[in-house]
Structure 1
Amino acid sequence: MTAIPVVEGRAIVQDYHVPGSMFSAAKVVRALKGIDFAVQKGKTLAIVGESGSGKSTLARVIALIDAPSGGELRIDGQPVDIRRQRPGPAMRSKVQMVFQNPYGSLNPRQKIGDVLMEPLVINTDVPASERRERAEAMLKKVGLQPEHFNRYPHMFSGGQRQRIAIARALMLNPSLLVLDEPVSALDLSVQAQVLNLLADLQDEFDLTYVFVSHDLSVVRYIADEVMVISKGEAVEQGSREELFADPKHPYTKSLFAATPVTDVEAIRARVARRKAARQAQPA
């Protein structure tokens, strides 16, 4: 029996209505043109394409932020249509999103502890004492310390802020994380650290990722499956190995040819060795 995908899209369409002006008529712009996809539990689907291709639009649809104009979205096999009914806390807790800008995604007036506890306050009846305990534990999971609980966002670096954003996204124990260019605003060395963290968290919590990126080096490192989008259409889909070894579509070939791809296999091997060493340690 084939496992039910954690998230699945069937013929997803997204239209934007552009109002007219004195010099132009109103029109409809189709940002997504009937996209199909499915992601199995514990896997990572990378969505790649140029700026304006529609990849971030699709990410917002998957994260239940924007309602698609047409098609069907399923989470754990259950149809979700936020055009007709807003998802409740149970559905919201399954899907969380990490945004590109670690500087703009955190409220500068909130302490980090309050940032992490807020999803629990809004969506659960967890008591205050347990909320703090969970928040401090999650800080440790992402490589920060409990004493950071009472600090403000401006006191952290960009990489630390993105770790905090990841921690916030995990507070409701989601099964699916949608990550929209989560490392593109970070220095290269910090990118590697955050990608390693995401790989570790995926293994620990059996997470499913939808990972939006224009950086093929990042995609080659983190993805299991890759979907290439051009002008709102999915022009090619396949495993990471297949697409990088033998891209078929002319757009994919041109995209790969125009983008330098660094060798990430050494990074992947180091991460694997580190995980093996940690697992071999006595409890």
Structure 2
Amino acid sequence: MSTRVVEGKNIVRDYHVGGGLFRGARTVHAVKGVSFSVDKGKTLAIVGESGCGKSTLARIITLIDPATSGELFIDGNKVDIARDGLSKEMRRKVQIVFQNPYGSLNPRQKIGDVLGEPLLINTDKPAEERRDLAMKMLKKVGLGPEHYNRYPHMFSGGQRQRIAIARALMLNPSLLVLDEPVSALDLSVQAQVLNLLADLQDEFQLTYVFISHDLSVVRYIADDVMVMYFGEAVEYGPRDEVFADPKHSYTKTLFAATPRADVSSIKARLAKKKAA
């Protein structure tokens, strides 16, 4: 029997915008009654164009912002950070990896300190144990002990994102929210990071909520897909079903407007060009 790690029921997020000289105050409905669930070891990809509400929903799932209404459950427990605050235990369970690997790491901290900081803040582990755990996590993400005392500017974008992933895993979370984690990387590096995420998911039975606008990435990594449009979930289902037979007109338009970037199509184009 599968274990449900995260579930949202009718999640709503409104922002109240103050008025100006020629415009009165108004309410922006960023997320409009979205429901979803993700089981242990699975990946839900949330896709849509800029401004569709996917990153706002990610901030709610990651417990950065509260929902205006609706219910959020993590490991079966209802979470309301506006009312109850955020406990260390819940902070441990949910971690996030941001889009920008250059801005998400403190440039003044050595990598060992970057990885050890979550343990320093949220646990009572001694310094030697924090160091050992950081060393082990560096190895898990494809780096080595020689990187422990280096600074972020000494790494490539792909290596920095590996470090960001390692930091997110230091507290042994059950849920990892990945907000456009490969969109700032070169294509070849994207593939390496996606393969790393897949390997880590298999090893630690991680649950992912993967935010993206790149459908080729979504097709590779997702188990289920949710398409958002102006704050609403207009399509939701298993990956293969959504890609093979999209129901909503926006999903069809989105898929039709996205160039195919899979290996077979690239090889076919190269062969056609060579034959011409």
Fold match (TM-score > 0.5)? yes
Give the unaligned 5+ runs of structure 1: 267-283
Residue in structure 2 matched with residue 96 of structure 1 by the alignment: 95
Matched, 1:31 2:34: no
Report the 3-state secondary structure (helix = DSSP H, G, I; strand = E; otherwise coil) of the residue aligned with 1:35: strand
Structure 1, 100-109 or 19-28: larger mean CA deviation: 19-28
The CA RMSD measured in Å over matched residues stands at 1.1
> 2:124, 2:73 → 1: CA distance?
27
Which secondary structure state, in structure 1, belongs to the residue aligned with residue 246 of structure 2? coil
The amino acid of 1:112's aligned partner reads: I
Q: CA deviation at 1:263?
A: 2.0
Q: Could you tell me how far apart the structure 2 residues matched to 1:242 and 1:265 are?
A: 20
Aligned partner of 1:173 in structure 2 is: 172
1:265 is displaced (CA, Å) by 8.1
Match of 2:221 in 1: 222
Counterpart of 2:260, as a letter, is V
Alignment of 1:196-275 (within 5 A): 196-263=195-262
- Please report how far the alpha carbon of residue 87 of structure 1 lies from its aligned counterpart in structure 2 after TM superposition: 1.6
1:171-193 deviations in Å (ceiling 9; x for gaps):
00001000000000000000000
3-state DSSP class of the match of 2:227?
A: strand
Deviation at 1:17, TM superposition (A): 1.0
Normalising by structure 1, we get a TM-score of: 0.92
Q: Distance in 1 between matches of 2:56 and 2:152?
A: 27
CA contact (8 A) 1:217 1:264 kept: no
Q: Is the 8 A contact 1:220 1:264 kept in 2?
A: no
Counterpart amino acid of 2:175?
L
Q: Show the counterpart of 2:185.
A: 186
Matches within 5 A, 1:48-127: 48-127=47-126
Cα deviation, 1:143-185, whole Å, max 9, x if unaligned, reads 0011111110000000000000000000000010000000000
Residue 84 of structure 1 aligns to a residue in which SS?
A: helix
AA aligned opposite 1:35: V
Query: Shift of residue 112 of structure 1?
Result: 0.5
TM-score (norm 2): 0.94
Q: CA deviation at 1:4?
A: 4.2
Partners of 2:152 and 2:12 in 1: CA distance: 37
Which secondary structure does the structure 1 equivalent of 2:37 belong to?
strand
Q: Tell me how far apart the structure 2 counterparts of residues 77 and 54 of structure 1 sit (CA, whole Å).
A: 24
- AA in 2 matched with 1:182: P
Any residues of structure 2 matched to 1:139-158 within 5 Å, and which?
A: 139-158=138-157
Counterpart Cα distance in 2 of 1:165 and 1:264: 28
Task: Report % sequence identity.
Answer: 75
- 3-state SS, counterpart of residue 150 of structure 1: coil
Q: How many residues align?
A: 265
- Structure 1, residues 244-282: CA drift from partner, whole Å, max 9, x if none? 11111101000000011322689xxxxxxxxxxxxxxxx
Amino acid across the alignment from 1:13: V
Q: For the residues of structure 2 that align with 1:71 and 1:3, how far apart are their CA atoms? A: 24
Q: Which amino acid aligns with 2:45?
A: A
Equivalent position amino acid for 1:18 in 2: V
2:13 maps to amino acid: Q
Q: CA distance change for structure 1 residues 248 and 216 in 2, over 3 Å: closer, same or farther?
A: same
Amino acid at match of 1:230: Y
Residue 5 of structure 1 deviates from its aligned partner by: 1.3
Q: Does the 8 A contact of 1:45 with 1:227 survive in 2?
A: yes
The CA distance in 1 between the partners of 2:122 and 2:205, in whole Å, is 22
User: 2:260, 2:214 → 1: CA distance?
Assistant: 8
Counterparts of 2:10 and 2:54, CA distance in 1: 15
Residue 22 of structure 1 and its aligned partner are, at CA, apart by: 1.3
CA distance in 2: counterparts of 1:28 and 1:264, whole angstroms:
44
- Structure 2: 5+ residue stretches without partners: 266-276
Letter in 2 for 1:145: G
Ranges of 4+ aligned residues in structure 1 off by more than 6 Å:
none
The 3 A distance-change label for structure 1 pair 265 and 57 is: farther
Matched AA of 2:9: R
